[in-house]
Structure 1
């Protein structure tokens, strides 16, 4: 045993600085003592990832598969700042390989591996996401002085751009490392570390195992438990080491509480407590008792067992864990899509079919509405046109009565008759114009019952509907036959009236001794005769006026009856025309909607069949993923057995 290698890191037999190399396993058959089943399962998962379009996930699994076939066990030591990570590694190998920069907690990771002679290089990677295990050229390897590693590293880092992706590779001749163990001192984790980012760091570092360092006496926080839970899923064999146990008043209680918290969180991690100071002092003094008290003896035994277990149990457990995670990640979108499919989410075709059904129902309701509206409007128009005609005729008759109250029909008939004919013609024209306007308004009111998507459903010209109802010209009204007051009639009426006056005044004057016929009686007779003629003349005038009024009223009633009938006939013709027009529009819309409904139903049937087939494919794919997940779980179960 050489002077720089002492304690439990030394082999029990004769020491050799050049250990016998371990044969690399056959990629087609797995390790000699292992089970190649894990490779078959992992290959199946990789093919499944590529089939699902997850080339990134497949590439990550392929890199982990290749590293599992490598004989070295790469242990990533990580933790928060000032938790004793670097001292832990230095104590394991009994060499100052980590934490050599002047800074308290450098951000330059260090990879410690076996070498025949102490050597160190600063490796400059192509990018922050580059794999640490990838081969680099000589121009990317900066030699460092092993005897003054800290100063040499500081000088080399100072020549590089700030933030350049670098790590240090340190080779030391140690039998612990010669057995295939590689220790990686990761940069300090931030206070709230992002689990995916830490997992990517471990994947880039090529880690096979993660060792999380935490100072004894400090309880694991919720963020740390979440980080450990995420790491434990990707890296079976997770190891939590409580450092600085010599500074903790009751490190055994801290160790028990740490185990309890990890078990409660469902994290399957091994837990150990060590003291780097005691380990280094025990190595310097050769004190085996103090070395056992430092806790490193058990830690070294555990690490050696993990190196031996990598081709078999650790490979199976890692393959099973990675397979389960990958399959779960693939199943999440499939299950979400299947849930949406099972939730009855309507497709565009189904939505279009429902909208077409609603449009057809609306059209059926619209048919009832416009028919009711047209019937109501026709009834109102009938009543209104009759009322309008009656009021107009009443006004005309009142004007005619007023005319004949002061005029003699025998003398003014020629003047009255043209006025009456013109007034009746104007009444008919006005009524017909108003009827046409109301008919057009009725057509618009009925068209409003159609849905907006039907467009303009008015007939080409609503006024043209009433063309057949235009009234003909008003006929001429002949003068009523009236009795004439001839001179003979006047003489006869005058003599008849004067007789009474002569007798009445003659008798009155006979008392005075005068004869019956005297100038006074003759004058009285003439007076009474004139009055009789005037009274008879007034009576005949009133009779002529009454007869003229009756003739005019009869004539106007005939005109009103004709106008009313023509108006009703016009309204009925308009009703039929509008009914036929809107019925044709409704039939066209129904035919168009039915055609759209047939097309929508066919599209919905095709979409439903496609969705059903897609749902079956999703279920079948989830079933296959579940079977692969069961195989990955079996790998993990066999690894734990």
Structure 2
């Protein structure tokens, strides 16, 4: 299973199942996955006469910008268009454009045969269908001639569109007329039915989402089926069990809200402590670097090292936040379903997105370099001052002994004091720079804790809202199902038997889809696919 068409068919089946189960959260989740698939690169070649192909390309480009953003349009080799062309091996599908007012003749059939030989995927587009009085008849006649020429295996779809209606609807922002033009339906066909290669990681991500939807639907339908199979002979027992289940779900609806509130508070304290602990380790590392030498010697390098360590610490802390949020979602789902083993119990978990605080890190102020005092000139001046004092001090003592003020002893003492003053001044300057470097690093980490902490609290509130909104929808649906089960059990009009048939049909479809996801082998969806699910609705 490597093509986009395979993934589209699986998405279509999973979407029908989720809709039949009355799970709008799962339908929305699959809609997001479908948007991923629509963003895949898709090269579409247009083969038509001058003018008609460019008009279709213009209409398709407008509509596909919203529905199929990964599409690119080129001219097919041998066409009379004015756009760019690419080798046929790079084309995913060829659109053969002809006028709906004219049936296929020898020229059109030869062109389709040539395109079919170049590209395995070909679709026929019938333009100006609004001016064709008998579109159905033209389509039927074209289909007969395609079959007669041996070009309809696999079948070439005949898709009517009107570029004039599409352009007018686009200018007037008229969605109804845009749909009537047929161009959105053509884009949907390209999105869902044209096969193209997809990246392995992308394919695996789509399959994981579909598999999670299937696993979320199986437990609830299986449990309801088991319950109905054991109680169909006793309406009284069925009503009693349904009422007990409704009462249990009402009690659990309080439990999951308490678990969410407590979990968010605990998660906030945990990630805040983790952030402070990691920043404290960064500060200790900065102190060690300062103690090893003069930070003023390579202050830009020291600043970059500290900032890189801060970014790494913040990124690690946000990984902890994502992990804690995922665990909290699982815990809340377990509280909602009341499963003793702490599993979600078939409840779909929301996708929690926590972005790294790049903006907060960019706003961190630069570390001011330490004072550049203690230059060589200042140390020399201080040394001369110390030498002068030493000469006078020793000279006075030697003058009392009857010697001259300036003597070898006073000069020697002055030199010694000057050298001592020079090195002592250098030591004091280094210690002052180190102290200023520690203060600058501490200020940077304090600013990081302030800004990242604020962003972290914003993320926590967003996570709480995401979990609250998601599980509120799921809980309301579970309560609605339980209340509907009570009403169904109270009636003895054959509704239970009908519900049994619906559940058995839906579960068979679910197991078939799960088997397809496991083996990668599944039957293609035909025109009647999903008919047996049309009446399956979870109570």
* TM range, smaller chain: 0.3 to 0.5
Higher relative contact order (CA 8 A, sep 6+): 2
Larger Rg: 1
TM-score if structure 1 supplies the norm length?
Answer: 0.38
Higher helix fraction: Structure 1 or Structure 2? 2
TM-score if structure 2 supplies the norm length?
Answer: 0.45
